[in-house]
Structure 1
Amino acid sequence: MQILYNIVVVLLIIMLLPYFLVRLIKEKGFGERMKQSFGFLPKHALDKVAKKDCIWVHAASVGEIVATSPLIKEFRREFPHIPILISVVTCSGYTMANRIIKDADSIIYFPLDLPFLAANTVKKIRPRIFLPVETELWPNLLKAARRYNVAVMMVNGRISDKSVKRYQYMFSLLTDMIGTVNKFAMQSEIDASYIMRLGADPKMVAVTGNTKFDQTYTDVSDKEKMQLISEMGLDTAEGIIIAGSTHKGEEKYILDAFKQVRQIFPKIKMIIAPRKISRKEDVKMICTQSGFSVAFRTDLKEKCSYDHDIVILDTIGELGKIYSTGDVIYVGGSLIPHGGHNILEPAAHGKAIIVGKNMFNFKDTYMLFTKNNACITVENSAGLGNEIVNLFRHPQIRHDMEAASLKIINENKGASRRSALILREVLESLGENPKTLSVPSTEAVENFQTYLFELVHGRRKKNLTGHVIISILDVFSFIYEKLVNLKLWLYKRNLLQQEKIDCYVISIGNITVGGTGKTPTSQRLAREISSMGYKVAILNRGYRAKWKGDVGVVSDGKELLMTAAQAGDEAYLLAKNLPDVPVLIGPDRSLTGQYAIEHFGVEIAILDDGYQHWQLKRDLDILLVDSINVFGNGHVLPRGTLRESLAHLDRADICLLTKVDQAAPHSCEYIRETLAKNNDHALVVESIHNPKGFVEIGDWSTNIGCSGKKINEMAGCKIVAVSAIGNPASLEQTLQSIGTVIVESIRFPDHHDYTTSEIAAVMEQAQKRGAEALVITDKDAVKFPKEIINKENRIPIYIISIAIKFQKGADEFQTYLQEHLPPKNK
């Protein structure tokens, strides 16, 4: 049965490839989802949890993430020292998880349930326990859990009628999956009976209640509620109806009911939240055809208006808070035979709730609210209209329903706490002490990504498995390259539109994965152009920033407004090192650029890491090429480290060769020859990373302007080099060139977040080796634990200060800028 399942899954993935390709082109974030789904998980995410006996919680999409949020709070409270990993399936779930769950250590996309992917992911992470939320049972993942002795506990378990019938046809596969689970923590007695019908041992089944009763991320104050209403231009409405999580074919019923309501209450307005945001234009068309004026929530954020009847909610994860603004709530998926959606989010705000007759996916909750007169059921659009009219005509009926909803919520809280206590029992029954499960270590542990890196770069001998992997990677590289070429072609043919902002745009980027010196080059260029009298801002994507939104201001050119964790280390460093230059983060740099123009009067915008950011039209493309690593292994991702093929070098106006002083003989000539074959117009400039001095981390943290030690003062000093950067060999070579004695080099994965225990172990190792100091980069410094920085009588920790110094072609570069930048009187 397992073999048959695997064949079906593989065939299904092949059939869906065209659909995936379309989404890859059209949908932001889908590329990252696919990359991780095929097992290429980011090192920074893995490093926090891999092989540290983490708690792995899997929630498929937005609904499960809502249920997971209070669980994670309780797990963190119960197990403060154990890393917590969350995996999701959908892009909306990933966005929602990053937005509302703050206590998780890492958030990743769940691997496709293929045998080798599931096994490799479990082997790579080695969690102590895997917790699927609701009914996320995946045969290959559970098989891998059995293989690697990973415990499994279902949390907030829910089984619908359809699922019971569907699972029964899985025969031996179902027996294996059910037999893998150590504990079933189910939402209700009905769900418990269903899982036992599927074969679960009654001794392993517990009823905890629904964790969605515990969620608090949607809590809204009166002030926030009024602000939301104002932002949506609904201040003048005499009542607000919300239709949440609507599906195709359902809006027609809702709009017919709304017409009925408006005949009696013409000043009542409506908010429609389609389940899939991709349907927003279709929903708008249906509303317009029904005679209603419409505005999108995202447009109203930019410019508020009041001349609309309906607001279409086209944002991810906001519905839970928006429910607070409604007077009457209709929960979608219930007038059509979809099975309904969870009514607990509007109930948490104490709202009068209406649903259709098709609530079979949420029988237990639906019965609870219906029995307590907290929910009204309607058969059709006429019934929906009549009930809404009745609730507005008789406010006391509405208020009684609101009170009943809040009473149910308050009486049913505690499922998350009960789940956490059951989890502790499970872990203790396995013979583990949950308080001592995680043992940090500074030893490098080989994982599958390391193996892949060495394999594709020819550093590991190929056996049969290696040849198979390379062949598979070649196929995916071919597909990836064609997709990149197609996307670029669509932009060149204006089939995909580039945004234009009213300032001069300079892009700085590279064509390979890994450190080429983008951040210090952006700093140098910003200073250079600022000294010419222009107002400059840097637009960074905010890689690994905890802040989520459209426009984030890291620095306004006067003071830092975000921490390193909020902004991401690269953006924070740019802001810290450029006190007179605004630094902004956000995924859409046309938005951040326009914001910089309107709020800071910016004339020149620098896109940090922007060579592949084709959405924004630029005036100058500067491409960095690492003279040490050159063009990687010549292959595009995932077979190699090229982000796009070498033919795309032709877009560069200036090619900056970095670290030429550390390059192997003839490397620069080879780079110039390769550039000449693919680009006949670019100015070629050479640069070096010039060490300026060393600053003690304590001084650096509190004083931007301190000078520290001169370069020659560190000559002969015994040091331990510690780094988590793209090219640690370059740092080590620089340190050796200035006369330091490196007694040991400790390399962490790029963008690694250091823990106190890791650095304590590093300092202990440095003491054993007789080191006089640790030396790190400023990129590492922003992630160093404050406990270490503030510790008394510790070994000195110096940050090496690096500046970009232009060499060959420097005068031509200066002239180029003077000739191509816009006139100052523009």
Structure 2
Amino acid sequence: MWNIYDISYGAGLALTSPLWLCHGRMRRKVLAALRQRMGDVPARADADAKPAVLIHAVSLGELNAARALIRRLGELRPDVRIIVSTTTDTGFARASELFGGGGDNAPAIVRYPLDFSKPISRLLDRMRPSLVVLVELELWPNFMLHCQRRRIPVMVVNGRLTERSFRRYRLLGPLARRMFGRLHAACVQDQTCAARFAALGVPPERLRVTGTMKFDTAAVERRVDGDADLADQVGLRPAAILGREHGEPLWVCGSTGPGEETLVLQQYRRLLVAHPRLRLAIVPRKPERFDEVESAIRAQGFEVVRRSKPRFTAAPAGSAAAPVILGDTMGELRKFYSLADVIFVGRSLVDLGQQQHGSDMIEAAALGKPVVVGPWTGNFADAMAAFRAADAIVEVSSADDLGTQVSRLLSDHALAEELGRRAVQVVTRCKGATERHLNEILTALDGTARM
């Protein structure tokens, strides 16, 4: 039966359909995932005698944060079926990479349903989850309503609410309070998030401050498997492997966003004056921007080598014509970071809107590298607070400041090494949130068994 949410969504879909139907690329993306988002799930996700837990991670970042939690839950509770749902294409691809080939006990991977009654009912009827776990936060009114009707508890882990998201939810008034009030538990990253969840209707007794799981997913190590092969294949001779005397210093700019690459390239040209052997690798955050970033590199007068199409160039290493490396593959950012002398973590130099303020600097810090970020890091406020307190990260206010600080770190090896050492200490000290979240899930599962 249709409800007010279905009618509202239907009207919105009808009004916006000309936009995505006329946009070929968007149309293909929407239609490709539509069948799965209408509640069609693979047979292995179908209900059986085992209780099921549906763990929803919207996209790549949430999935990476939850991967250790998902594996630990599978180890501790082999009697439970785990189903992982995602919304985005990159999240679905990453879930398939992480869990797609693990045998009979591996998690099933599905698309999160559109928030219409029929897709939600179809998905819940087929999977019959005993518990739904939302990573960070993804509340939809219809989904919450149908879970409540089926008496399926819904909990949040690694919960986070930015100031902007908080303001938007508050605009929903009673609707937001109904959704948040239906949560079985909310395990959040810090006290600020706890206050926001409470203001939106989560009763205090259902709130837990459990920290961020992102620290747990970051492996503390100096080298990453496969980094030397990557360097060979794209024509790098990194000092991180060959030593400063024989190798080239490498500046890696990871998870960059629109507008940042051009600023980075301008600073790279400036840095080549003082550091003529310096090489640059850029790894954009979103795959759909790879071609755009290649064009930006060429527009600044540099040759480019794409990771997906490695080739060697006749240009002498260290000259102004040395090619910029474009990391255009998925899952290799840590390899690039492992080869770096200095790392800039992107989506932080340009204001891209609060939903995109900052990228994960924790995995770079865990490798013991000096890390530089811009002024826009609001999505990682808790991690930034920890790094700031230990003086373990460099924050810059502008592109020129970025170039100055990178030059300083390339010149002052003792400072760079000390920053890396402090960063590793912060990551090590902040680990443990995954086990705390896992205990909350196990408690909730035990509660469902008694229902």
Normalising by structure 2, we get a TM-score of 0.88
Give the direction of change, closer, same or farther, for the CA distance of 1:282–1:430 in structure 2 (3 Å limit).
closer
- 2-side partners of 1:114 and 1:218: how far apart? 43
Say if 1:223 and 1:246 are closer, same or farther in 2 by CA, change over 3 A.
closer
Is contact 2:51-2:79 (8 Å) kept?
A: no
Find the counterpart in structure 2 of residue 138 from structure 1: 140
1:330 is paired with a residue of what secondary structure?
strand
- Residue 243 (structure 2) pairs with residue 225 (structure 1): no
1:218 and 1:25 map into 2 onto residues whose CA distance is 42
Name the SS of the counterpart of 1:112 in structure 2: coil
Partner of 1:100: 98
> Cα deviation per residue 1:705-757 (whole Å; 9 max; x = unaligned)?
xxxxxxxxxxxxxxxxxxxxxxxxxxxxxxxxxxxxxxxxxxxxxxxxxxxxx
Secondary structure at the counterpart of residue 316 of structure 1 = coil
Structure 2 residue 412 is matched with structure 1 residue 394: yes
Question: Which residue does 2:256 correspond to in 1?
Answer: 246
Tell whether the 8 Å contact from 1:228 to 1:325 is kept in structure 2 after alignment. Answer: no
2:433 is aligned with 1:415: yes
Offset from partner CA, 1:309-359 (integer Å, 9 cap, x none): 311111123223432222211111111113111211212222211111111
Match for 2:412: what amino acid?
A: H
- Segments of structure 2 that go 5 or more residues without pairing to the other structure are 239-246, 316-321
Q: How does 1:529-678 map to 2 (within 5 A)?
A: none
Quote the residue 1:384 is aligned against: 402
Distance 1:200-1:18 versus aligned 2 partners, 3 A rule: same
**Alignment check: 8 A CA contact 1:50 1:124 kept:** no
User: Could you tell me how far apart the structure 1 residues matched to 2:404 and 2:13 are?
Assistant: 46
Within the candidate set 165, 187, 197, 1:195 is matched to 197
Letter in structure 2 aligned against 1:40: D
For 1:67, the equivalent position in structure 2 comes to 65
Q: CA-to-partner distance for each residue in 1:645-692, whole Å, 9 max, x for gaps?
A: xxxxxxxxxxxxxxxxxxxxxxxxxxxxxxxxxxxxxxxxxxxxxxxx
Q: CA deviation at 1:123?
A: 2.1
Distance in 1 separating the partners of 2:421 and 2:341: 13
Q: Match of 2:371?
A: 353
Give the deviation of 1:69 after TM superposition: 0.5
CA distance in 2, matches of 1:313, 1:19: 29
Displacement of 1:73 after TM fit? 1.7
Contact 1:334 1:356 (8 Å CA) reproduced: yes
Preserved contact between residue 40 and residue 122 of structure 2 (Cα < 8 Å) = no
TM-score (norm 1): 0.49
In the alignment of these two chains, the number of paired residues is 426
Structure with bigger gyration radius: 1
Give aligned-pair identity as a percent.
Answer: 28
Q: Deviations over 1:611-642 (max 9, x none)?
A: xxxxxxxxxxxxxxxxxxxxxxxxxxxxxxxx
- State the SS of the aligned residue for 1:374: coil
Displacement after TM superposition at 1:26 (Å): 5.9
* Alpha-carbon shift at residue 79 of structure 1 (Å): 1.2
Q: CA deviation at 1:220?
A: 7.6
Match of 2:336 among 322, 342, 359: 322
Sort the Cα spacing of 1:421 and 1:265 in 2 relative to 1 into closer, same or farther, 3 A.
Answer: same
| 1:154 match: secondary structure | strand
Q: Is the CA contact 2:50–2:79 (under 8 Å) kept in the aligned structure 1?
A: no
Higher strand share: 1
Question: 1:155 aligns to what SS in structure 2?
Answer: strand
2:37 match: 37
Give the corresponding residue for 2:20. 19
Secondary structure class of the residue paired with 1:298: coil
- Between 1 and 2, higher relative CO (CA 8 Å, sep ≥ 6) is seen in 2
Q: 2:306 aligns with which of 296, 321, 330?
A: 296
Three-state SS of the structure 2 residue aligned to 1:116 is: helix
Counterpart of 1:82 in structure 2 is: 80
The alpha-carbon deviation at position 232 of structure 1 amounts to 2.2
Residue 242 of structure 2 is matched in structure 1 by: none
Tell me: CA distance 1:230–1:359, structure 2 relative to 1, closer, same or farther (3 Å). same
Return the offset for 1:402. Answer: 0.6
Q: Check the 8 A contact 2:254/2:285 in 1, yes or no.
A: yes
How far residue 227 of structure 1 moved from its aligned partner, in angstroms, is 1.9
- C-alpha displacement of 1:306: 6.9
Cα distance per residue 1:41-77 (max 9 Å; x no partner): 233x323x56742011000111011011011122113
* Residue pair 1:113, 1:140 contacting (<8 A) in 2 also: yes
Higher helix proportion: 2
Deviation of the 1:305 alpha carbon: 4.7
Segments of structure 1 that go 5 or more residues without pairing to the other structure are: 434-826
Provide closer, same or farther for how the CA distance between residues 327 and 362 of structure 1 changes in structure 2, counting only shifts above 3 A. Answer: same
Distance 1:230 1:189 in 2: 46
CA gap of 1:93–1:197, structure 2 versus 1, over 3 A, is: same
1:90-239 matches, within 5 Å, as 90-101=88-99, 102=102, 104-215=106-217, 221=223, 224-235=226-237, 238-239=248-249
- Contact preservation (8 Å) 2:223, 2:338: no
Q: Deviations over 1:249-281 (max 9, x none)?
A: 221221122122111111111111122222222
Matched, 1:374 2:384: no
Distance 1:57 1:71 in 2: 10
Alignment correspondent of 2:244: none
**Is the CA contact (8 Å cut-off) linking 2:223 and 2:367 kept in structure 1?**
no
Partner of 2:288: 278
